[in-house]
């Protein structure tokens, strides 16, 4: 596979009434504790967060990837991925950057390359995937609001992006466009061995290439992302969710890792985080009549 054979992705951003969100299924399946055993090389880029900025100021952006590639120059680059996906348009921009890189691009999927992270991986000259790792592919997943005419327009506007993503997958894998389109329509999970057998990846990673941080699931940011997705599904507007997350962030004490915590410590941390979140909700939903001055 040469980069010259890969189609370029169109550049765009969400239109009015629409924004990109994490797929709840991808977020549930994501193990944020998986990472490369060796991330120390100067020509390594790590994608271990959602694609696009999140409420914490984290997330993987095209600006960050562009800066990393400038520092690497025209040399070969290794991109380690463990991401639940995120902003489809930010992902397309990152795909273009890797596609246009003059050195060899090797992508290593440590745990999950879902949604936007999956087509970012397609920009590689060589794709390696863990035996227990997964690709997850689907059509562009967004949150939208408006009347029926607005929603029809948004669906029509999204269709060319789905077609472009399908073309990217089909070109990289060698599968027919019809087969890829069906996989996107159904939301398809592709494990390591199947990925190699069907052309989504070129080879399996060795078992010692991947490490796990067992404490990563306790990260308050992971919990906050899950709460954000739950609120989005419940219809809470993005502006209100942002305010809630910022209040949650400021009211939740920073965790200090002192080794393996006991059950009591974990329960206390969870209770404190939940109490902070409840306080944030109460603050946001106060009305002038019940606000103390």
CATH of the domain at 110: 3.90.226.10
Same domain, 106 and 240: no
Same domain, 194 and 236: no
Residue 60, helix vs strand vs coil:
strand
pLDDT of residue 145: 80
Number of residues assigned to the chain? 293
Q: What is the pTM of this model?
A: 0.78
Same domain, 182 and 165: yes
Looking at 212, 236, 266, the residue that finishes a domain is 212
Same domain, 174 and 259: no
Both tokens assigned to 121: 């991986």
Same domain, 190 and 102: yes
Same domain, 151 and 81: yes
Same domain, 46 and 187: yes
Q: Is residue 250 part of a domain?
A: yes
pLDDT of residue 287: 42
Same domain, 107 and 198: yes
Single out the residue of 142, 132, 135, 133 nearest to residue 119, CA to CA. Answer: 135
pLDDT of residue 291: 36
State the residue for tokens 């060795």. Answer: 206
E strands, 69-228, are 77-83, 105-114, 126-129, 134-137, 142-144, 188-191, 203-204, 210-212
Same domain, 139 and 198: yes
pLDDT of residue 97: 97
pLDDT of residue 258: 35
Same domain, 26 and 146: yes
pLDDT of residue 186: 94
pLDDT per position in the chain (293 positions), as tens? 445 588 999 888 877 777 777 788 898 899 989 999 988 889 999 999 999 976 666 789 999 999 999 999 999 999 999 999 999 999 999 999 999 999 999 999 999 999 999 999 999 999 999 999 999 999 988 878 888 998 899 889 889 999 999 999 999 999 999 999 999 999 999 999 999 999 999 999 998 899 988 766 556 666 666 676 667 666 676 667 767 766 766 665 443 333 434 444 444 544 555 455 555 545 544 444 433 32
pLDDT in tens, 42-98: 999 999 999 997 666 678 999 999 999 999 999 999 999 999 999 999 999 999 999
pLDDT of residue 229: 66
Residue 247, helix vs strand vs coil:
helix
Q: Is residue 293 part of a domain?
A: no
State the residue for tokens 């969100």. Answer: 21
Same domain, 37 and 139: yes
**What is the CA angle 87-99-10, rounded to 5?**
50
Q: Is residue 54 part of a domain?
A: yes
Q: Is residue 113 part of a domain?
A: yes
Same domain, 74 and 158: yes
Looking at 212, 232, 254, the residue that finishes a domain is 212
Looking at 152, 178, 212, the residue that finishes a domain is 212
pLDDT of residue 233: 63
Number of domains the chain is built from: 2
- Domain containing residue 75: 3-212
Both tokens assigned to 112: 């999950």
Residue 127, helix vs strand vs coil:
strand
């Amino acid at each position: 596979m040469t980069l010259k054979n890969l189609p370029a992705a169109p550049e765009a951003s969400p239109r009015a009434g629409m924004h990109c969100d994490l797929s709840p299924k991808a977020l549930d399946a994501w193990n944020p504790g998986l990472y490369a055993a060796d991330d120390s090389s100067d020509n390594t880029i790590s994608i271990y967060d959602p694609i696009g900025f999140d409420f914490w100021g984290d997330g993987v952006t095209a600006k960050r990837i562009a800066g990393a590639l400038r520092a690497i120059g025209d040399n070969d680059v290794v991109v380690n991925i463990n991401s639940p996906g995120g902003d489809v348009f930010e992902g397309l921009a990152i795909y273009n950057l890797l596609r246009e890189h003059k050195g060899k691009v090797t992508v290593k999927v440590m745990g999950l390359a879902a949604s936007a992270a999956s087509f970012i991986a397609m920009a590689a000259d060589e794709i390696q995937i863990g035996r227990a790792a997964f690709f997850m592919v689907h059509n562009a997943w967004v949150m939208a609001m408006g009347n029926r005419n607005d929603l029809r327009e948004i669906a029509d506007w999204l269709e060319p992006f789905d077609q472009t993503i399908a073309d990217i997958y089909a070109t990289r894998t060698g599968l027919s466009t019809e087969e890829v389109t069906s996989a996107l329509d159904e939301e398809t999970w592709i494990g390591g061995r199947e990925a190699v057998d069907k052309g989504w990846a070129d080879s399996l990673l060795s078992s010692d290439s991947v490490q796990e941080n067992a404490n990563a699931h306790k990260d308050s940011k992971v919990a906050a992302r899950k709460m954000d997705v739950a609120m989005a599904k419940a219809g809470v507007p993005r502006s209100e969710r942002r305010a809630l997350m910022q209040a949650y962030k400021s009211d939740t004490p920073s965790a200090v890792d002192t080794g393996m915590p006991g059950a009591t410590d974990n329960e206390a941390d969870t209770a404190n985080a939940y109490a902070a979140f409840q306080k944030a909700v109460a603050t946001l939903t106060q009305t002038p009549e019940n606000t103390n001055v």
